[in-house]
Amino acid sequence: MSKIIISCAITGSIHTPSMSPYLPVTGAEIATQAIEAAKAGATILHLHARDPETGRPSADPAHWAGFLPVIKAGCDAVVNMTTGGSAVMTLDQRLAGPKTFAPEMCSLNMGTMNFALYPLAARIKDWKHEWEKPFLEGTDDLVFKNTPRDIAHVLAEMGTRGARFEFECYDMSHLYMLKHFVDRGAVSGPLYIQFVFGVLGGMAADPDMLVLLKRTADRLFGDAYLFSVLAAGRQQIPMASMAAAMGGHVRVGLEDNLYLSKGVLAQSNAQQVHQIRGIVEGMGRTVATPAEARALLALKGAHEVTF
Domains and CATH numbers, the chain: 3-304 (3.20.20.70)
Q: How does residue 189 score in pLDDT terms, banded at 50, 70 and 90?
A: confident
pLDDT at position 1, please?
A: 57
Residues 4 and 105: their CA atoms lie apart, in Å, by 17
Residues 251-260: what's their mean pLDDT? Answer: 97
Please, what is the angle between helix 148-159 and helix 172-183, to 10°? Answer: 60
Handedness of CA 104, 110, 115, 120 (dihedral sign): negative
* 115-168 confidence digits (pLDDT tens): 999 998 988 999 999 999 999 999 999 999 999 999 999 999 999 999 999 999
pLDDT reported for residue 10: 98
pLDDT at 147: 98
> Has residue 112 got a pLDDT over 60?
yes
Residue 240's pLDDT band, with cuts at 50, 70 and 90, is very high
Mean pLDDT across the chain: 96
Residue 284 has pLDDT above 60, yes or no: yes
pLDDT of residue 15: 84
Q: Count Cβ atoms below 10 Å from residue 69 Cβ, excluding itself.
A: 15
Q: For residue 139, give every residue at least 6 positions away whose Cβ sits within 8 Å of its Cβ, in sequence order, or none.
A: 87, 115, 116, 117, 118
More confident residue, 122 or 228: 228
Q: pLDDT tens digits, residue range 1-50?
A: 589 999 999 998 888 899 999 999 999 999 999 999 999 999 999 999 99
Q: Which helix (H) or strand (E) holds 113?
A: strand 113-114
pLDDT confidence band for 272 (50 / 70 / 90): very high
Q: Return the pLDDT at 301.
A: 97
Closest CA to 48 of 23, 73, 18: 23
Q: Count of residues for the chain?
A: 307
How is residue 303 annotated by DSSP?
Answer: G
